[in-house]
Amino acid sequence: MRKYLRIMTISLLAVFFFTACIKDLDKFPANDKTKQDVYADAAGYKMALAKVYGTMILSGNQGPAGQGDIDGLDEGQYADFLRNFFNHQELPTDEAHCIWNDPGVPELNNINFVPTCGFTIGLYDKSLLQIMYANDFLRNCTEEELVSHNLSEAEKTEIGYYAAEARFLRAFQYWVLIDCFGNPPFFTEEDNLGELPRQTNRSELFDYVEAELLDLVNNNLLKEVRTNEYGRVDKAAAYALLARLYLNANVYKSPVGSPGNDVQYYTNAITYANKVIEAGYSIKQGKYEHLFLNDNDKNNPEVIFSINYDGSRSQGYGGITFLINASSNGNYQTTYHNTLLHYGTFVNANWAGYRLRGNFYEKFPSNDERRLFIGSNLYMGDNPTNYEYGMATYKYRNIPSTLTLAKCDEVLACREDTNCTGVKVFGNHVTGEFVDNDFPLFRLAEIYLIYAEAIKRGGSGGNEATAIGYLNELRSRAGLNNISSYDLNYILDERGRELYWECHRRTDLVRYNQFTTGSYLWEWKGGVKNGQALDAHFNIYPIPSQDLQANTNLKQNPGY
């Protein structure tokens, strides 16, 4: 069934008791569902699993706003997972800059992180919320619980796969917390409800996530690769997360700002990259830009696991609706119409806020087909709050890959004609306010790049000639000539060119020890026009102040 999990959005039984990551119970919306209602049969289990997935897709139970998952977080700004994750992974880097002066934006732009930032609170809360939902789901997947519901053996087997998926989603969010916050609170379904979670540390949490993922794949708890419904995880997603985890292990297992160099982690990254590569995925042929348009759920052999959106069924002001509108501008849609066709949104559109910094733009050869940028002023210069300075991207648009200029003009003309009865939008939503694009959390191109980097860092289990072949597949799709050799600096730049605006850049710069140091400066890094080095404690974010006040087990990250 197409995008099943994007349409199954129910109000999951509010978890019985939870404190620490959220200050108190009244931060959660009221819920009239009981445990007996939700887990009455196998169908109820599937809908409850959909809520665990849906925490990454939606900001609440109603859409686009009005019944937020977490009271006190504005659903338009701070309550969406992808919007918050993007802001933390991209805004402080050379890949993005926001001209708005909303609370929290300047701090992220300028790498001046504070524990009261709404975006930081939002990311932290949403990650812990999905963990909380996963824990509650798993409490209801024990053998004792399943027997009490008189489920068939086949149904219990399927629910076993659901439980493994919930464990993966929990592991993914713990990876987000490892990467962004380092030392978050830790709790599983085994912990006593009502007790304040203890604080873990980065190294310990790495070991937990690693062990969880290895258990899921080594004991065949997840479905085999490419056998699950679209939108649900299988073994390949766990292999991909393991490869990413191991690539960054020397950051997570070392003091902040001082990455280690244990080559065994790179060997492990190669091992799990190979498992993904051998699973039957392939680089999507044709145009790079088609990977990110609103029909990217079709004929796409490259995406391993994605966050799935549907403009008529999963509405919110985050996700790819945000990514499209944040970078679009009405005047640009006219000026560059023949290039970008249209951003594909019409109502509450063209927010005109997010730009690229000039240093990043210059990493692209002029004939690189991944250079999906428009604008007339490459650098922001003295104008970091003016949309006309810096370049905009049209990587994400709510249009199909089959759209032609003529068909686009036909739709736009129909919108201007009150008597026209033809198509007036490019997606599923009747007014064109919300979009249908899926966001790739893991795709094969990243796995190729992990393999190539891990080889150069000394990992074994692969070879450089194979890595060059993978890199040339990406270059070929981008319209570029083959290379015959590469170094680590090439990989960092190539990851930028291939994966920009996909929530990787901050993690990459930290791994290369370039995020806070003076080894790489970009415009307005650290709030200074020509860039500046910063203290290493900014390599992770602060624990939000509200959680420190609510949970006496927690201590703030050093430097904050």
∠ Cα 409 411 413 (to 5°): 65
- At residue 220, the pLDDT reads 97
Residue 298, in any domain of the structure: no
Residue 459, in any domain of the structure: no
Instruction: Give kind and range of the element (H or E) at residue 490.
Output: helix 488-499
Residue 438 pLDDT > 80: yes
With H, G, I as helix, E, B as strand and everything else as coil, classify residue 443. strand
Residue 282, in any domain of the structure: no
- CA dist 182 to 80, 174, 176, Å? 21, 10, 9
Domain boundary among 437, 460, 493: 437
Tokens linked to 177: 């917390």
Range of the domain at 129: 1-200+524-555
Same-domain status, 191 and 336: no
- At residue 33, the pLDDT reads 60
Q: What is the pLDDT of residues 62-76, one digit of tens each?
A: 778 777 788 888 877
Residue 560 near residue 131, CB atoms below 8 Å = no
Domain boundary among 395, 417, 437: 437
- Smallest CA-to-CA distance from 57 within 45, 69, 66 is with 69
Tokens linked to 121: 């609170």
CATH number reported for the structural domain that contains residue 150 in this entry: 1.25.40.390
- At residue 373, the pLDDT reads 98
Same-domain status, 52 and 194: yes
Domain boundary among 391, 415, 437: 437
Residue 6 pLDDT > 80: no
Residue 20 pLDDT > 60: no
pLDDT band at 34 (very low <50, low <70, confident <90, very high): low
Give the number of C-alpha atoms closer than 13 A to the C-alpha of residue 519, restricted to the C-beta side: 12
Residue 222, in any domain of the structure: no
Query: How many angstroms separate the CA atoms of 521 and 235, rounded?
Result: 39
Average pLDDT over residues 412-429: 95
- At residue 9, the pLDDT reads 35
Same-domain status, 195 and 325: no
Residue 307 zone, left/alpha/beta (φ > 0; ψ -120 to 50; rest)? beta
DSSP 255-324: -TT-----HHHHHHHHHHHHHHHTTT--PPPS-GGGGGSTTTTSS-SSEEEEE---TTTS--SSHHHHHH
Residue 210 near residue 242, CB atoms below 8 Å = yes
The per-residue pLDDT of the chain, averaged, comes to: 92
- At residue 111, the pLDDT reads 98
Same-domain status, 193 and 323: no
Residue 419, in any domain of the structure: yes
Residue 7 pLDDT > 70: no
Residue 466 near residue 351, CB atoms below 8 Å = no
- Smallest CA-to-CA distance from 186 within 171, 173, 203, 198 is with 198
Residue 389 pLDDT > 50: yes
Residue 368 pLDDT > 90: yes
Residue 84, in any domain of the structure: yes
Query: How many angstroms separate the CA atoms of 172 and 508, rounded?
Result: 17
With H, G, I as helix, E, B as strand and everything else as coil, classify residue 117. coil
pLDDT band at 307 (very low <50, low <70, confident <90, very high): very high
Same-domain status, 43 and 178: yes
- Output b/e per residue, 133-153; b: 16+ Cβ within 10 A: bbbbbbbbbeeebbeebebee
Same-domain status, 4 and 113: yes
Same-domain status, 66 and 173: yes
Q: What is the pLDDT of residues 471-493, one digit of tens each?
A: 999 999 999 999 999 999 999 99
Structural domains in the chain (count): 2
Query: How many angstroms separate the CA atoms of 197 and 452, rounded?
Result: 39
Q: What is the pLDDT of residues 509-529, one digit of tens each?
A: 999 999 999 999 999 999 999
Residue 25 pLDDT > 60: no
Question: In the chain, what percentage of residues exceed pLDDT 90?
Answer: 86
Residue 457, in any domain of the structure: no
Residue 535, in any domain of the structure: yes
Helical residues (DSSP H) of 181-234, grouped into ranges: 202-218
Same-domain status, 147 and 51: yes
- At residue 193, the pLDDT reads 83
